Every structure is written in structure tokens, then in C-alpha cells.
Amino acid sequence: MATEGQPPKPIVFTTHARKRMRERGAREEDVREAIRVGQREPAQRGLVLYRLNLEFNREWDGRYYAVQQIAPVVSEEQNRIVVITVYTFYFQEGGRQ
């Protein structure tokens, strides 16, 4: 997240995060958007989790879902944001805000 008047920090992905994104159906651009505009929550060990609900309206793993929630867990370092892992949740209607 950028502070006012400063450019945003670069976002880098761990190998583990990229693997989880592939397994869980998360796109890199959606993870980046979740970090930019998603709801920020504290996570374990001083990490931060962001949540963002996105319109999905397609099948995932053989079932139709209206909403995909992207939830990256990040380490907010001084000069960059490191994506540690990415969770995804799928909802048939609405979704948790």
C-alpha cells in the first residue's frame, strides 16, 4: 500500500505463493488488486491478509460460482510487499465482505 505522495511499493511473489495461486485458481492481477484495494486484516506472525471479492460467474473444480474471494497473506517490508501465500474462497451467491 502506498502512503500519500509516495509511489506504491513493488509486490514480489514467493515460489510458494505462485504455487498456491496455480492450485487455487488465483490470477496475479487479482492478487495485486486485492493488495491495492482489499480489506486489510492482521494475520499471524505479524503478517497482513487482504480480502477482495471479485465477480467470477464460472466453474471452478466442477461447480459454478458467482464470486471468488482473493486473500493474499503478505509481509509488508520497508521497501516492498512480499506475497507469502494466497487463499481463495468461492461463493455461489454474494460472498463475505
User: What confidence tens digit (pLDDT) does each residue in 9-51 have?
Assistant: 999 999 999 999 999 999 999 999 999 999 999 999 999 999 9
Alpha-carbon gap, residue 66 to 84, rounded angstroms: 26
Q: With 90 as the cut, is the pLDDT of residue 7 above it?
A: no
Alpha-carbon gap, residue 23 to 17, rounded angstroms: 10
Task: State the CB neighbour count (10 A cutoff) for residue 84.
Answer: 18
pLDDT of residue 97: 47
User: What confidence tens digit (pLDDT) does each residue in 57-80 have?
Assistant: 999 999 999 999 999 999 999 999
pLDDT of residue 46: 95
pLDDT of residue 53: 97
91 DSSP β-pair partners? 67
> Which residues have CB under 8 Å from 75's CB, separation 6+?
46, 47, 48, 81, 82, 84
Q: With 60 as the cut, is the pLDDT of residue 8 above it?
A: yes
41-29-65 Cα angle (round to 5): 75
Alpha-carbon gap, residue 41 to 26, rounded angstroms: 19
